[in-house]
């Protein structure tokens, strides 16, 4: 099962300040953001694991994969219908950044902890780009297109409980990820999902489902995706 490590992670000042204030940031805020970027670089350990599986089609709300493995995606399972292959992914930056951010926010340095946490969110997104590049290259090599990134708990109606079945298809322990009873990923700065590729897709870049979300007009995560073309 392929694992990607040592991918380049670039966190810019604009990406941190973008979600802090609509006006010009104070010198103190800018200094704190610069500290968060530098500290994040010392704490993160980005890694991605992925697996490529053949799709055999959609059965109601379920995606059927080779070996009759089934994932219940919800009422919009048809989004993956054009896929000939499905790439399942899990991404993490490790536990150290969130541990330090949590410690800071529990004491007098709440803002520093928040800035560091924001830097962690950007870092996870950057790590996700690495595997999306791999997926897009797979599709190009076959002359295929790519579908949107789908994930448990997304606006398409795939329940969070689906995380367990999805991640059971990956050796997540190899990259230090586990699941809680409520299907949350540990470390918290982690993500999972799947992307379909096939001749029935027309896009060359992995898309998002942000346009379905009720928070689309005010979500800074969506703005981040737009800014980084995720």
In this prediction, residue 229 carries a pLDDT of 36
Does 7-212 carry CATH code 3.40.109.40? yes
Question: What is the pTM for the complete model shown?
Answer: 0.85
Quote the CA–CA distance of 83 and 198 in Å, as a whole number.
5
In this prediction, residue 220 carries a pLDDT of 40
- DSSP H or E stretch at residue 134: helix 110-142
In this prediction, residue 221 carries a pLDDT of 45
Can you list the residues of the chain whose pLDDT is less than 70? 19-23, 155, 209-230
Task: Output 182-185 pairs: Cβ under 8 A, ≥24 positions apart.
Answer: 183/152, 184/160, 185/90, 185/92
In this prediction, residue 159 carries a pLDDT of 87
In this prediction, residue 156 carries a pLDDT of 74
Give the CA count within 13 Å in the CB-facing half-sphere of 160: 9
- Domain-wise residue ranges, the chain: 7-212
Q: What is the largest CA-CA distance in the chain?
A: 58
């Amino acid at each position: 099962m392929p694992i990607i490590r040592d991918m380049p992670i670039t966190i810019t000042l604009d990406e941190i300040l973008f979600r802090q204030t609509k006006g010009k940031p104070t010198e103190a805020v800018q200094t704190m953001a610069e500290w968060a970027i530098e500290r994040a670089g010392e704490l993160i350990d980005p890694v991605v694991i992925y697996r490529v599986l053949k799709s055999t089609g959609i059965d109601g709300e379920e995606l059927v994969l080779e070996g009759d493995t089934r994932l219940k995606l919800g009422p919009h399972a048809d989004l993956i219908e054009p896929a000939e292959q499905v790439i399942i992914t899990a991404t993490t930056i490790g536990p150290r950044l969130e541990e330090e951010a949590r410690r800071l926010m529990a004491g007098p340095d709440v803002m520093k902890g928040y800035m560091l946490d924001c830097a962690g969110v950007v870092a996870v997104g950057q790590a996700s780009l690495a595997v999306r590049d791999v997926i897009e290259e797979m599709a190009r090599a076959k002359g295929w297109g790519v579908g949107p990134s789908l994930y448990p708990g997304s606006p398409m109606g795939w329940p969070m409980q689906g995380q367990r079945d999805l991640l059971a298809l990956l050796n997540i322990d190899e990259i230090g990820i586990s699941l809680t009873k409520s299907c949350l990923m540990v470390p918290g700065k982690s993500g999972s999902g799947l992307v379909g590729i096939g001749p029935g897709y027309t896009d060359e870049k992995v898309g998002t489902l942000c346009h379905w979300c009720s928070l689309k007009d005010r979500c800074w995560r969506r703005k981040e995706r737009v800014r980084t073309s995720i």
